[in-house]
Structure formats: structure tokens, C-alpha cells
């Protein structure tokens, strides 16, 4: 069996760190990778500063099988991701003929100014990632995929690059909700986690509109049988505590 592939996300942009913008790309990429059976192990956010981008990228690309960056590939002076990636890899940078031609066709020769041409610049050796929303492509070099920061474009680029990634064994997850305080479940849950060490069990409390307590218990693992066995142990534990267990298919949750 192949070793599980791992990935990291590097979000690039002052606007995330200033609080102007709520990042959603980490979550989008996390869910994309889950479907591919690739483990997202780490995410980082850095500002529009070449030194910080290079340091983070070099740390992540040597630790993980794949790195996905978002942000900083537009036409303005604060879009410095392509230069930073070239610096991290120690390669030059220049216009990619295919990107240049596509952007020139999109804007027309008169409107294809020097700044817009910046969007055709990629590190030497990089290949393009198609952008079905606008003409400006992403790119990939080595194990690094460079995506736009605009969420709709990041999503389109993920779809375009998906065939380049291996299909790993997917993580199977079962979520069980129950109207009981987390602290009452905790001791038995710890024992279940010990007895089902090939799964990872997470516990996420919530409060109901009328002030009651509830908990979502999530079992995750690559062995469907092992996940099912742990889920059944949790259901038995909840029932013994007098709390009805209910399997749910959760939407993306606020934490």
C-alpha cells in the first residue's frame, strides 16, 4: 500500500492578516484534498513580503508531498507570489508564451499593458494551471501549486489541476450528534479512542438555541470497518448514558 500523501496550504496576503478578509481558501482546499485522499497537515498565512513567502514555502515544500499557495498572482505591485516562488526554487522568471498569448487575446493588444503582462510571468520550468473564470493562469513547479486568492478562481484552478494529483485512500468519517454535555461523554470516549487506535475521534461541543448542550463526535480513518466499529462503540456509550445518538451528514461547521 502506498504511503499517504500529505499537503500544506500557504495563504499569501496582507488582507488576511489585517483582518480585512476572512480566508475561505484553506477550507476549500481541505475539502478538495479530502476527496483525493490526501492529508492536509498544515496551513500557514503570511503577508505580501518576499522573505516571509520564501521561508514558509521552503519549509512546507520540503516537509510535505504537495503545497498549495493562494493569492498574489494578479497584475498589481503587491502581487509578488510568482517572484517569491522563483526565488524559493532558485530559478529565473519570465513570460510563459501560452499565458502571454492567452492574456493578449483576452485584453487586446491596446489594453495588454505592462502590469497585465505580469500575470504571464512564471518561474522557469513551471507549467500552467488553467483558469476557467478569467484568463490569468495559475502555475505549478516541483510539488508547489500556485493558485489565485479570489475564491471562485481558486476553486476553478483546483478543478483544473485535480488530474495531476494521485488518488489516495480516502478518509472515511462518521459524525454522531447527541444532546449531552461533552464532559459527560469524555471518559468513555477516551477509552473508545484507546481501543480504536486506527481511528481519530474528535469531540466538538455545541449549545442549542435554548441553552442546552450537545456534542458532535467525529470518527475518522481510512479503514471503513474500523471507523464503523468505533462509531458503534460511541453509539453504545451514548445510549448507556441515556443520550440518543444520531448519525448526521454535517455541513461545513463554524468551529
Stretch 190-229 residues interacting with its own copies (CB under 8 A): 190, 193, 200-205, 218, 220
Q: Which is nearer to its own copies, 156 or 201 (CB)?
A: 201
Q: Could you give the count of Cα atoms lying within 13 Å of 1 in the half-sphere of its Cβ?
A: 8
Kindly state the smallest distance separating residue 163's Cβ from its own copies, in Å. Answer: 21
Q: Which is nearer to its own copies, 42 or 91 (CB)?
A: 42
Mask for 159-178, x = binds its own copies (CB under 8 A): ------------x-x-----
Q: Is 211 left (phi over 0), alpha (psi -120 to 50) or beta?
A: left
Based on the shown chain and the rule CB under 8 A, indicate whether residue 250 belongs to the binding site for its own copies: yes
Kindly state the smallest distance separating residue 77's Cβ from its own copies, in Å. Answer: 4
Kindly state the smallest distance separating residue 17's Cβ from its own copies, in Å. Answer: 5
Based on the shown chain and the rule CB under 8 A, indicate whether residue 189 belongs to the binding site for its own copies: yes
Based on the shown chain and the rule CB under 8 A, indicate whether residue 104 belongs to the binding site for its own copies: no
Q: Which residue has the cell 503570511?
A: 46
Binding segment toward its own copies, per CB under 8 A, in 84-92, 156-164, 187-195, 231-239: 187-195
How far apart (Å, rounded) are the C-alpha atoms in residues 240 and 184?
11
Cβ contact 83:161 at 8 Å: no
Q: Length of the chain in residues, anyone?
A: 255
Binding segment toward its own copies, per CB under 8 A, in 38-46, 85-93, 161-169, 234-242: 38-46
C-alpha cell recorded at residue 65 = 508531498
Cα distances (angstroms) measured from residue 252 to each of 177, 217, 249: 15, 15, 10
Cα distances (angstroms) measured from residue 51 to each of 23, 31, 79, 216: 22, 29, 14, 41
Q: Is the dihedral of CA 206, 208, 212, 215 positive or negative?
A: negative
Mask for 65-94, x = binds its own copies (CB under 8 A): -----xx--xxxxxx---------------
Which residues 123-152 are close enough to bind its own copies by CB under 8 A? 149-151
Which position among 41, 91, 95, 179 is part of the footprint of its own copies (CB under 8 A)?
Answer: 41
Strands (E), 164-212: 172-178, 200-207
Kindly state the smallest distance separating residue 134's Cβ from its own copies, in Å. Answer: 9
Amino acid at each position: 500500500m502506498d504511503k499517504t500523501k500529505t499537503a500544506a496550504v500557504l495563504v499569501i496576503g496582507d488582507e488576511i492578516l489585517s483582518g480585512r478578509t476572512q480566508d475561505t481558501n484553506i477550507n476549500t482546499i481541505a475539502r478538495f484534498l479530502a476527496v483525493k485522499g490526501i492529508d492536509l497537515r498544515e496551513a500557514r498565512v503570511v503577508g505580501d513580503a518576499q522573505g516571509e513567502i520564501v521561508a514558509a514555502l521552503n519549509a512546507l515544500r520540503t516537509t510535505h508531498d504537495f503545497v498549495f499557495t493562494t493569492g498574489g498572482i494578479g497584475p498589481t505591485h503587491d502581487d509578488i507570489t510568482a517572484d517569491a516562488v522563483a526565488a524559493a526554487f532558485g530559478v529565473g522568471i519570465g513570460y510563459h508564451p501560452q499565458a502571454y498569448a492567452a492574456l493578449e487575446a483576452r485584453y487586446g493588444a491596446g489594453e495588454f499593458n505592462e502590469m497585465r503582462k505580469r500575470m504571464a510571468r512564471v518561474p522557469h520550468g513551471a507549467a500552467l494551471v488553467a483558469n476557467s473564470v478569467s484568463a490569468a493562469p495559475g502555475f505549478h513547479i516541483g510539488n508547489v501549486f500556485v493558485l489565485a486568492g479570489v475564491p471562485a478562481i481558486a476553486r476553478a484552478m483546483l478543478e483544473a489541476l485535480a488530474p495531476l494529483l494521485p488518488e489516495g485512500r480516502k478518509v472515511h468519517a462518521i459524525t454522531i450528534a447527541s444532546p449531552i454535555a461533552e464532559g459527560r461523554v469524555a471518559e468513555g470516549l477516551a477509552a473508545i479512542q484507546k481501543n480504536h487506535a486506527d481511528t481519530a475521534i474528535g469531540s466538538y461541543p455545541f449549545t442549542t438555541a435554548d441553552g442546552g448542550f450537545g456534542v458532535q463526535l467525529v470518527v475518522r480513518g481510512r479503514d471503513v470497518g474500523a471507523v464503523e466499529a468505533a462509531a458503534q462503540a460511541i453509539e453504545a456509550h451514548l445510549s448507556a448514558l441515556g443520550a440518543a445518538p444520531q448519525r448526521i451528514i454535517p455541513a461545513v461547521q463554524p468551529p
